[in-house]
Structure formats: structure tokens, C-alpha cells
Amino acid sequence: MPEVLSFSQAYRRLLAKTVALFLSYLAVAMSLPVTSIYVIDQLHYGNALGGLAVGITFFSTILTRGYAGRLCDQQGGKACMQRGLYLYMLAGAVCLASSWLADQPALALGVLLSGRLLLGLGESLAIVGMAAWSIGLMGPVHSGKVMSLVGMGMYGAFAAGGPLGLLLFQQAGFRPLMLACALLPLAGLLLIRRFPHIAPHAGRRESFLRILGRIGKPGAAVFLQGVGFAGLGAFFALYFSSRGWAWGSLGLTGFGVGFVLVRVLCGHLPDRIGGAKVALASLAVEAVGQWLIWSSATPSAALLGALLTGVGCSMVFPGMGVEVIKRVPAHLRGSALGGFAAFQDLAYGLTGPVAGLFADSFGYGAVFLTGAVAAMLGMATVALM
């Protein structure tokens, strides 16, 4: 007989899963700002390949979100999340192996890209698995809160992991950093190992393309929101370096602080007032933050822009996620969440290499102007839903 939990008991388990995700996701966050620097400064490739090394992880998730969703629907979210965390560990080990090949840059880059592809598969499984598992635990009426906490785990890791990864890279090098990334997900696995799985719902399957059609408009809004974060994650530190400013590592910290603060204070709003209203206001704040980074004359103004970008990005995914959950039956929930997340992955995957080309032609500031325009287009998409 399945275990019956009170709301407070279920919520405590949700918080424990959030901590597990935070610890595991440090493997992603610590490597994000360092990967492009490693490719450009140590392997001596250009900005486009530096952006590709970051963005290829998100292309991998795009290709595997459907698999992650089916796995959740058929075997449950716990199995999906656990496989994702094991893949985080394997990805860190593969990227570590590339450090021994630095004297053969082409081979080192190929191994690094392979590790980043595995990291993307792990991310797909871990995030979709936790979201589906937790919505099954809390119920769809609390789906906005669940996705808010999933984001808190992820972007809290970005806030801590960005500067921590850069510091470890600068002080010890790429190899110790990747070793840490390979070991951290073990803590997450230990935290969730005793929580029971939730049996999947039965029902008739639909094609993944048909499910994508159901959620296209919320997905498009999340895609446009993701451009700003992806550009910030890949190029903010390089933007500061190009202008001779210190503290570029704090860009992701500012983003993460704003993101998590809003999730804590406003995570209940999509369930209470509706996801579209929350997403519309959030995208407006993101546009202001991106514009401020682009137009800044001082590092403090650019860091404020990073903070506002985090504030704006914070509630778009849970806001639109509430709308997604309303559009699909329970037995397709994992697939819908996988498809929904794929829209954001597409933004992350495309933004890295495309923004790298923009940076080569127009300077790093153009990356953030593009993010501002994308956020305004996202506002128009939500307004037309």
C-alpha cells in the first residue's frame, strides 16, 4: 500500500530533494563559466567554439527530453532522477579526462564535448525526474511551487557554483575542478536513496510532437526568456574581462541571488493568481536587466543588471509550467514537462554559439542587447496566450 503523507511531510521531502538537486547541480554550475574560458585560453580556440562547448550541453538535453519524459511516465520520476545524477558523475569524469590531452587541442576538445553531451543527458533526466516525482508527491495544484523549488535548487547552485568554479579553476586548475564536479552528485544520490518512488499513471500515450503542440505557446515564452540567462552564463565574465573590470565571476552570483530570492518570496504566485500574469511581469524585469548590462558604464551597473536578470527569469518557468500542467492529463505529465523544458534547452543551446558569433562581430555587449530584445518578444508571446 502506498505511503500516505500529510502536506507538511510531503513538503519536507520536497525540500530534501531540492537540497539534493542543489548539491548535484553544482557539477553543472561550477563548470559553466569555466568551460568557455578553458576552451579559449587553454585550448586556444575562438569564441564560437567556446560558446559551443557551453551550449552543446543544452542541445543534448533537447534531444533527450522526450526520452526523459517517457521514462518518468513509464517508470516514475525517482528512477529518472537517479539515472541523471549518475550521468552527472560520468560526465565530470569524461571532462576530467580531457585535461590530460591539452597538448592535443583537437582531441581534448572532442573529449570535452563528449563529456558536455553526457552532462546534458544527465540534466535532462535529473530535472524532469525531480519535477515529475515531486508533482506526483505534492499534487498538480502545487505544481507552481514544485517548479519554483526545482529552480531554486538549480539557480542556487549557479549562485554558489559560478564563483566557486572560477576560484577553483584559477587556484588549482581545470583538473581538480572536474574531479569535484564528478564527485558532488554522489551527495545528491545519498540524500534521495531512501525516498519511495511514486507509481506512474496509466493512460493512452500520445506522440511527443503532439504533446509539444499542446504546450507550444508556454514553451515559446520560456525559450525567449532563456536567451538572457544563456548569454549571461557564457559571456558575462568575458564581457567584464574585455572592459578591464574585476568581479566578473559575480555575474552568476547576482543572477542566482535575484533568482532564488524571488522564488522564495513569490513561488506561490503562479498557483494563486495564474502563471501568465506572473510570467508577463517577470519578462519585463528581465528585459530591463539585460538592457542595463548592455548599456552599463560601470561594473556595478552591470552587476545590478545581472541581479535584475535573475529576478526576471525567476518566475517565467514556473509561471508557464502551471499553464503546461493544465493542458495535459496526468499520464502525460512527464512527457509534457520534458517537452516544456526542451524549449528552454533550445534557447541555451542556440544562444552560446550564436552569441559567440555576435561577440566576435559586435563585441560582448551585443549578447545582452539580444537578450533584452528576446525578453520583450517573450512578453508579446505571453500577452497573446
Q: Which three cell numbers stand for residue 298?
A: 560601470
CB 5 within 8 A of CB 11: no
Give the helix ranges, DSSP H, for 243-315. 250-266, 269-273, 275-295, 299-314
> pLDDT of 201-227, one tens digit each?
666 766 767 888 888 899 999 999 999
Between CA 262 and CA 83 the distance in angstroms is 30
Task: Return averaged pLDDT per consecutive 10 residues of the chain, 385 residues in all.
Answer: 64 88 90 86 82 82 84 86 95 92 88 94 90 82 81 79 87 92 94 80 70 86 91 85 84 84 84 88 96 92 94 90 81 79 79 78 86 94 88
Residue 200: its pLDDT value, please? 62
Q: What is the DSSP letter of 140?
A: G
Residue 201: its pLDDT value, please? 66
State whether residue 69 is helix, strand or coil.
helix
Joined grid coordinates for residue 214 = 499542446
Alpha-carbon distance of 146 to 144, in angstroms, equals 5
Judge whether 188 and 24 are in contact, CB under 8 Å. Answer: yes
| C-alpha–C-alpha distance, residues 45 and 304, integer Å | 31
Q: Rounded CA gap, 283 and 181, in Å?
A: 32
The answer to whether the beta carbons of residues 166 and 33 sit under 8 Å apart is yes
Question: What b-and-e string marks burial along 270-279, b requiring 16 or more CB atoms within 10 Å of the CB?
Answer: bbeebbbebb
State the pTM of this model. Answer: 0.75
